[in-house]
Amino acid sequence: MEQNTFLDDDSKKVLSGYRSLLRTLHLKSSREELNALRKALEVSMDAHDKMRRRSGEPYIIHPIEVARIVVEEIGLGALSATAALLHDVVEDSHYTLEDVDRLFGERIARIVDGLTKISDVFDPDSSQQAENFRKMILTLGEDVRVIFIKLADRLHNMRTLESMPPHKQVKIASETLFIYAPIAHRLGLYNLKSEMEDLSLKYTEPEVYRDIAMKMKSIRQDEIRMLKHFTSPIKASLKKEGMAFMIKERTKSIFSIRKKMINQGVSFDEVYDKFAIRIIIDVPAEEDEKASCWKAYAAVTDFYRPNPDRLRDWISSPKSNGYESLHITVMGPNGHWVEVQIRTQRMDEEAERGLASHWKYKEDEVVSSKIDGWLSKVREILENPTLNAMEFVADFKLNLFSEEIFVFTPTGELKTLPKGSCPIDFAFEIHTDVGLSTLGAKVNGKLVPLNYKIKSGDQVEILTSAKLKPKEEWLNYVATSKARSKIRANLREERMIVADRGKEVVHRKLRALKVKMSPQVEGKLYHFLKLRDSQEMYYQAGLGLLDNQELKNFARERNSVLYQYFGRGRIRKETPDKKPSETSEAPPSPKVLVFGEDEQELDHKLSPCCHPIEGDDVFGLITPTDGIKVHRKDCPNAIAIQSRIAQRVMKARWISKEVQEFVAVVRLKGMDTKGLINRITQIISNDLNVNIRSLELSSEGGMFDGSITLLVRNKLHLQQIMEKLQKVEGIEEVDRSIQKSKP
């Protein structure tokens, strides 16, 4: 190590970090592995010589800290630590992949290659972030250690984020929340996931983070005193049973507290499980771990009343990422709810290390099928050729945060599904052919609708028919990426068949109307019909939904234009490049939005996920297939958009007051009084002369809840409608709804 490369303090940091790494590895590593580790440090120092991070510290400290996270916090061995020390070498220096292969062997070279390939996944200059993310996940099929090291790399970047400019902090934090924290969760790395989430919140919502952190600090001592008082009789009981154990206090993460406050609509003080305890039982693996955990459960509930709705038994049915634990919530002293987690030392080790705990220290092979089970689900998504990159990202993330339920087939076979799954998800879990031909379902012997939410312990039977095909509405029911991707693929195939049939219909009808079809005519026709593209036009025709009168109007207008342009008797050929008379052109659509720094008027579509209307704060998103889509700045999808495809976001603002109609959804709640619907429709349709797209109201126990989809001119117009509705007798709440869906 060249002392003149760094300042003395820097040299001490490098040496301290490397020695800490060696202390963790030396007992479980061979001399050859430790020699490779030392050689990797020397190569990395040479590659990053004189390089410094934005914080001012030598760059070499970063790969050392990444290696320490890989070993000390994820639990991998010397091979992964060696690859972590080299993870930026090929990208940042004169060293090549061939050099790494020659110096360290094929396995480490393969890992470094995977890390190099995904190093620019979230490059701000990249216009294909979704596709790059897909490439990153493809590396899972080669070596899952690539993802473990990448997570360690991201965690250290988050720990040192304060040196970055504010706009970079928000972008990197948003990316972390969007991709990396969910992957850490799915791999069972809960500590990494929680720290990533907390650090992300610190930079995306700093005031919220500081407020919760200060409140947690102010109550910490009182809560810990309460927990010690709470655990005192439990310890005595466990000792009396002759059990070896340890008890840890656990603090809920700031991010999860914030999430619970939002999801449940409660204040900080109303989040009851901010602190919890974990009972870890020391029992040999060959003995009955389950019996020991339930004995500890009995010791806890002998003193404190459990909440039956909060029992989670992941020992009898572990999560798909291997997590095993018994969770209960009991009423403790002074009316405090306390969460208690019960597990053995083996279970705790696996819970802390996630899927990484299933690797041998030598890392030569996987000692459990749990990684392979999870990777098979990933490959299932990867093997779907019909998914575009954006759909892939959505499908991959679909189940990452999902809680799991355990469901039985009619023969008693156990299936694991995400919470919120319906019978269609279960059918596709059985077999794709079963899913595609689903007719109905029985749950516990009773017929249920296909959007029924299955619960843990249900026994599900699928009824099929060879004549049936998936319906588009199924996409609103399913919760698994497998079901969603198979349904999409089948619908695309069916749509193409219908569109081909419709194309023949349109061409035949145009011939009868003396209009010769061409690419130019095709484009003018679907614009005339106000449809998205020619494929949508032919699909509508195949379904028999095209209005013949509209086709006649198009033909009449087109023939009239050609007649005026060429003169009587001279309509012989198409001249699409010629401009017809201005008097025959349809008036252009009003432009109410301008985009970018130059404030240009551009064609755009209003996104259905947040229904922006005139007056809303909005931004534009350049999409690969639909041009510019406009979102509200408070759209539920805004963080995801800005994290993964920020380079395609455009500034947008309203500048015109020309009349144009926008879709808005108004949510209503109140008392169900006689004639209520009549009064609502009277005010909207007759008094205000507003078009109603749809009206959905449901009543239960004398109260109603529902929504109305309206066509309004602007935000002020919508506000006037809402104020009128608020005055209707029986209506208690009126607010504007945002429907969370794909951007």
Residues recognised as catalytic: 91-92
Structure-token pair, residue 271: 């989040």
β-pair partners for 293: none
Residue 249 has a CB neighbour count (10 Å cut-off) of: 15
Q: Which amino acid is at 407?
A: V
Q: What is the DSSP letter of 279?
A: E
Report the alpha-carbon angle 197-201-205, nearest 5. Answer: 165
Query: Distance (Å, rounded) from C-alpha 193 to C-alpha 181?
Result: 5
Distance CA 296, CA 302 (A): 10
Nearest to 664 by CA among 627, 725, 719, 595: 719
Q: Supply the Cα-derived Rg of the chain in whole angstroms.
A: 31
Q: How far apart are CA 283 and CA 343, in angstroms?
A: 10
Nearest to residue 368, comparing CAs of 351, 353, 355, 349?
355
44 neighbors 85 (Cβ within 8 angstroms): yes
Cα-Cα-Cα-Cα dihedral sign, residues 268, 638, 194, 315: positive
Rounded-to-integer distance, Cα 59 and Cα 487, Å:
48
Measure the CA–CA gap between 515 and 435, rounded to whole angstroms: 44
How is residue 540 written in tokens? 């509508």
**What Cα–Cα distance (Å) separates residue 506 from each residue in 493, 522, 562, 582, 640?**
20, 10, 20, 27, 40
Token pair 């992300």 is found at 200
The answer to whether 16 and 68 are in contact (CB under 8 A) is no
Q: Which of 509, 533, 499 is nearest to 519 (CA)?
A: 533
Select from 211, 284, 216 the least CA-distant residue to 250: 216
C-alpha of 350 from chain center? 25
Q: What does the alpha-carbon distance between residue 671 and residue 728 come to, in Å, rounded to a whole number?
A: 11
Q: 66, 153 in Cβ contact below 8 A?
A: yes
| Residue 619, helix vs strand vs coil | strand
Residues 6+ apart with CB under 8 A from 568: none
Residue pair 16/1 in contact by the 8 Å Cβ criterion: no
Lookup: tokens for 22: 């060696």
Q: Which long-range contacts (CB under 8 A, 24 or more apart) does 399-403 make?
A: 399/186, 399/479, 399/480, 399/481, 400/182, 400/183, 400/185, 400/186, 401/182, 401/185, 402/479
Rounded Cα–Cα distance for residues 247 and 284 (Å): 18
Inter-residue contact 87 to 115 (CB < 8 Å): yes
C-beta of residue 690 within 8 angstroms of C-beta of residue 711: yes
Residue type, 259: K
